[in-house]
Amino acid sequence: MFRALLIPCALLLLMPAGCTTTPRSYDYETVFMAQRVNMVLSSWHMAADNGLYEFYFDQMTDDAVFLGTDASERWTKQEFMEYAREPFSDGNGWTYEQVEYHVAFNDKRDTAWVDEILENEKYGTMRGTAVLVLDGEDWKIAHYSLTFLIPNEKAGDVVELIAED
């Protein structure tokens, strides 16, 4: 009995502060799956922070797509691996701290949609959105998009600034 409670309790302790989940129902299995999905993304961000190249990319499906903040940044997993090789080479990649998290599942619970709020020292508050798929017993990132959050009252100025290019 104690062992059965140990893993879920440990996962709850590892979830970031301020993290929330929004599963369709609050049954034990759905909450546990939401925690597992969050663990994949949390460990993915941790791997980037520590330059753990192989671990980072092992969290992604072979046909994964990563969308960066620039319009030109639509990378297949292979392209993204090439891009990340240099930043990860010194044991540091990039740091995005997860501060808020939401997940939803399809009815079969083999696909998860995630949106998260992230903090970055250089870029401030950002949003990451992801699609994860269940691959056997493991959740894998199939699609990830990173975006800047622009307050509505500043959007016009940002659009003008971008148009200057």
Radius of gyration (C-alpha) of the chain in whole angstroms:
17
Which percentage of the chain shows pLDDT scores above 70?
84
Sign of the alpha-carbon torsion through 70, 118, 94, 134: negative
Instruction: Please name which of 93, 99, 92, 91 lies closest in space to residue 80, comparing C-alpha atoms.
Output: 93
Contact criterion met (CB below 8 Å) for 21 and 12 = no
Q: Rounded distance, CA 155 to CA 44, Å?
A: 30
For residue range 6-25, list pLDDT tens digits in order. 334 444 444 444 444 444 45
**Residues whose CB is less than 8 angstroms from the CB of residue 130 and which lie 6 or more positions away in sequence, other chains included:** 41, 112, 113, 114, 115, 116, 141, 143, 144, 145
Q: How far is CA 122 from the centre of its chain?
A: 18
DSSP designation for 24: S
For residue range 37-51, list pLDDT tens digits in order. 999 999 999 999 999
Place of tokens 């994949």: 40
Is the model's pLDDT at 144 over the cut of 90?
Answer: yes
For residue range 23-37, list pLDDT tens digits in order. 445 688 889 999 999
Place of tokens 């619970």: 109
Q: Which segments of 40-164 are extended strands (E)? A: 60-67, 74-76, 97-105, 111-120, 124-135, 138-148
Polymer length of the chain: 165
Q: Rounded distance, CA 51 to CA 93, Å?
A: 5
The pTM for the full model equals: 0.82
Inter-CA distances, 97 with 7, 103, 138, Å: 24, 17, 23
Instruction: Please name which of 80, 84, 88 lies closest in space to residue 51, comparing C-alpha atoms.
Output: 88
Choose the CATH number for 14-163 among 3.10.450.50, 3.40.190.80, 3.40.50.720, 3.90.1200.10.
3.10.450.50
